[in-house]
């Protein structure tokens, strides 16, 4: 089906209501009975890296489409290039899909499980004159392929007799040739304006072990050949992929239509089904692009291998694993993908939309706590040295169901250095010498003495508390400022990692940028080891918090060498990049 046909169908009067063009297409297919009412989708990652936010959009689309139409969604690893694949990537992909809240139908599938069938179908293509064994080297094949403005040239082996190609393909399978000595190519049209149709390679010789099949094979099918047949074998109805595969769709259709339909059905999961067997149809949608973000897997891998980031799960990475470690929630990512929508129009989404989604989720669900990142010691002289006042503070100002926590107030506390000024700027509403401020959830205090060290740096504030102001306004005066604090003796030392955007330019992969490394944000990670948190933070099972007036933080799985807890800043309270 052409794109124009799809557009026309989605705009016909009486079309069922749908939120995007893919749902419209599926609704029409169900109405016509095209697939016997079945809806079968798949998420087909290549296990050559960790999933990123762009994959999250595809995951949400494929799994939710299947659920909404009462269908099924397969997880299938398109594992045709063992040189770049590993079990680590397989395991991480499965883990991240489940973390997002989705579960695939039946067992995990692998394209490598179909290698025997794919080999038989390749022989069928040779026998029917649709494929041939080619002796051109990879370099020669690229030369013969032509360009966007110049037609390709036929391989000298294009008219090789069928029997000879079958024999050579069998020898390729038996390991009798070196890598690059032969390949199996489709026989289509070397003059096609679509380069993908210029006798594409179907099989290459690769003497390398596979993470699923071991050393059973020394020839491996290409992605384009494997993907469409795997879809057909699994009874996929709607093969949803991003727009970069639009030019591959003619090849997808050519391969399936060049094979015997009955042989495909006989090898498929629908072999014994009474459902009508119809070949799957590929439909493309716009991939997710975010500004200030790089999602090209090759560059992401390079950043990991070069040590620019600490790994695939570095909290600055756009990978799902990195976002998890940074404190993003599954609900926030799903809501973001839903808000972005599905269309065929390429565009760049403002990273602020993703940040808004996580702020919105955490504002509702993250308990509050206090953390002083840059501590300044304060002594409250009218609280006895050995006294610990246990205050009961709400875990969430808008949700009493989250309960309350005990927060100890002692004679010595820490406040943040930014909350005290000896020479305050206009509009400063925090603590000053001789001034008053309220401690969050506690009393109003007044600073009456400032101590400095030999360098003139403020090291201690001596204050007094108005003990009649706990939960009450002070009499005869108005105190505007409220600051957070932590008990010096009861607080717990932690390390905080202040994460920010990894790149300082909107498009680090733009063509006019010679090296994306020149666009890295030097302040994308600032580690602070002086932070102090209230003791409740290290109790219980909560991992995410709003550290009041500091941002949203998540407990990291990677403690420092000393074993001190580490908290990653997920996001600031407000967008510091706006405007």
What pLDDT does residue 560 have?
66
Question: CATH topology for 297-367+496-571?
Answer: 1.10.1160
The CA distance from 50 to 93, in Å, is 7
Please tell me the chain's helix, strand, coil percentages from 3-state DSSP, rounded to the nearest 5. Answer: 30, 25, 45
Please state, in angstroms and rounded to a whole number, the distance separating the CA atoms of residues 322 and 50: 9
Query: Rounded CA gap, 526 and 544, in Å?
Result: 19
CA-based nearest residue to 349, from 298, 288, 402, 440: 288
Q: 245: which 2 tokens?
A: 């595969």
The per-residue pLDDT for 4 is 35
Paired residues of 183 in beta bridges: 134, 204
Count CA atoms closer than 13 A to 355's CA, side-chain side. 23
| CA–CA gap between residue 530 and residue 497 (Å, rounded) | 11
Tokens representing residue 341 in the block: 């929508």
Would you say 285 and 240 are in contact if contact means Cβ atoms under 8 Å apart? yes
- The pLDDT of residue 11 is 38
Is the Cα torsion angle 257, 259, 265, 268 positive or negative in sign?
negative
Strand pairing report for 444-452 and 436-439: antiparallel
Fold of 370-494: Ribosomal Protein L25; Chain P (2.40.240)
Task: For CA atoms 527, 529, 532, 537, give the dihedral sign.
Answer: positive
- Name the residue among 499, 564, 501 with its Cα closest to residue 530: 564
Residue-range domain boundaries for the chain: 32-285, 297-367+496-571, 370-494
Both tokens of 491, joined, read 């607080």
What does residue 425 show for φ and ψ, rounded to 5 degrees? -75, 165
Measured between alpha carbons, how far is 502 from 323 in angstroms, rounded to an integer?
Answer: 13
Give, for all 579 residues of the chain, the pLDDT tens digit: 333 333 333 334 333 445 899 999 999 999 999 999 899 999 999 999 999 999 999 999 999 999 999 999 999 999 999 999 999 999 999 999 999 999 999 999 999 999 999 999 999 999 999 999 999 999 999 999 999 999 999 999 999 999 999 999 999 999 999 999 999 999 999 999 999 999 999 999 999 999 999 999 999 999 999 999 999 999 999 999 999 999 999 999 999 999 999 999 999 999 998 888 999 999 999 999 999 999 988 999 999 999 999 999 999 999 999 999 999 999 999 999 999 999 999 899 999 999 999 999 999 999 999 999 999 999 999 999 999 999 999 999 999 999 999 999 999 999 999 999 999 999 999 999 999 999 999 999 999 999 999 999 999 999 999 999 999 999 888 998 999 999 999 999 999 999 999 999 999 999 999 999 999 999 999 999 999 999 999 998 899 999 999 999 999 987 666 678 999 999 999 877 665
Q: Using alpha carbons, select from 210, 229, 230 the residue that is nearest to residue 220.
A: 210
Q: Output the pLDDT for position 128.
A: 98
What pLDDT does 578 receive?
65
Query: What local confidence, expressed as pLDDT, does residue 323 receive?
Result: 97
pLDDT in tens, 144-179: 999 999 999 999 999 999 999 999 999 999 999 999
DSSP per residue, 131-187: EEEE---HHHHHHHH--SSS-----TTTT--HHHHHHHHHHHHHT-S-TTT-EEEE-
Residue owning tokens 């609280």: 383
Fold classification of 32-285 is: Rossmann fold (3.40.50)
**How far is the C-alpha of 198 from the C-alpha of 156, rounded, in Å?**
14
Give the residue carrying structure tokens 């600055």. 316
Q: Which two tokens stand for residue 1?
A: 């089906």
């Amino acid at each position: 089906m052409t794109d124009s046909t799809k557009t026309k169908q989605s705009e016909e009067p009486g079309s069922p209501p749908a939120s995007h063009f893919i749902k419209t297409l599926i609704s029409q297919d169900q109405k016509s009975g095209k697939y016997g009412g079945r809806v079968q989708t798949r998420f087909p990652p290549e296990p050559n890296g960790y999933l990123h936010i762009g994959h999250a959009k595809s995951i949400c689309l494929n799994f939710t489409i299947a659920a909404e139409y009462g269908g099924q969604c397969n997880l299938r690893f398109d594992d045709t290039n063992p040189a770049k694949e590993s079990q680590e990537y397989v395991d991480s992909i499965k883990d991240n899909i489940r973390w997002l809240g989705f579960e695939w139908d039946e067992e995990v599938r692998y394209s490598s499980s179909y290698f025997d069938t794919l080999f038989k179908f390749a022989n069928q293509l040779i026998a029917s004159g649709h494929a041939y064994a080619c002796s051109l080297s990879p370099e020669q094949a690229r030369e013969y392929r032509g360009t966007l403005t110049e037609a390709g040239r036929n391989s000298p082996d294009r008219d090789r007799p069928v029997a000879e190609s079958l024999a050579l393909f069998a020898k390729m399978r038996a390991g009798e040739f070196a890598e690059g000595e032969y390949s199996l190519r489709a026989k289509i049209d070397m003059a096609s304006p679509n380069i993908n149709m210029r006798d594409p390679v179907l099989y290459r010789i690769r003497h390398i072990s596979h993470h699923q099949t071991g050393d059973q094979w020394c020839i491996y099918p290409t992605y384009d050949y494997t993907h469409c047949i795997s879809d057909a074998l699994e009874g996929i109805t709607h093969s949803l992929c991003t727009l970069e595969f639009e030019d591959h769709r003619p090849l997808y259709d050519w391969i399936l239509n060049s094979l015997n339909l009955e042989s495909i059905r006989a090898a498929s999961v629908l072999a014994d089904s009474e459902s009508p067997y119809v070949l799957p149809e590929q439909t493309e949608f716009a991939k997710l692009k975010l500004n200030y973000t790089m999602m090209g897997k090759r560059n992401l891998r390079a950043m990991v291998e070069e040590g620019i980031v600490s790994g695939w799960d570095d909290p600055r990475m756009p990978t799902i694993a990195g976002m998890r470690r940074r404190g993003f929630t599954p609900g926030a990512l799903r809501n973001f993908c839903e808000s972005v929508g599905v269309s065929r129009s390429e565009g760049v989404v403002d990273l602020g939309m993703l940040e808004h989604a996580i702020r919105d989720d955490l504002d509702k669900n993250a308990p509050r706590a206090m953390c002083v990142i840059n501590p300044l010691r304060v002594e409250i002289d009218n609280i006895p040295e050995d006294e610990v006042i246990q205050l009961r503070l709400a875990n969430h100002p808008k949700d009493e169901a989250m309960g309350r926590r005990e927060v100890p107030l002692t004679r010595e506390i820490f406040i943040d250095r930014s909350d005290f000024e000896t020479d305050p700027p206009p509009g400063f509403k925090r603590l000053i010498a001789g001034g008053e401020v309220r401690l969050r959830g506690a009393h109003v205090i007044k600073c009456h003495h400032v101590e400095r060290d030999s360098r003139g740096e403020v090291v201690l504030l001596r204050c007094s508390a108005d003990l009649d102001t706990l939960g009450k306004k002070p009499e005869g005066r108005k105190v505007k400022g409220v600051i957070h604090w932590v008990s010096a003796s009861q607080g717990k030392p932690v390390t905080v990692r202040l994460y920010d955007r990894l790149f300082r330019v909107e498009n680090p992969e733009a063509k006019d940028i010679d090296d994306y490394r020149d666009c890295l944000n030097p302040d994308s990670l600032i580690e602070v080891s002086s932070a102090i948190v209230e003791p409740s933070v290290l109790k219980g099972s909560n991992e995410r918090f709003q550290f009041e007036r500091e941002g949203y933080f998540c407990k990291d799985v990677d403690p420092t060498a000393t074993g001190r807890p580490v908290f990653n800043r997920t996001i600031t309270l407000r967008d510091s990049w706006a405007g």
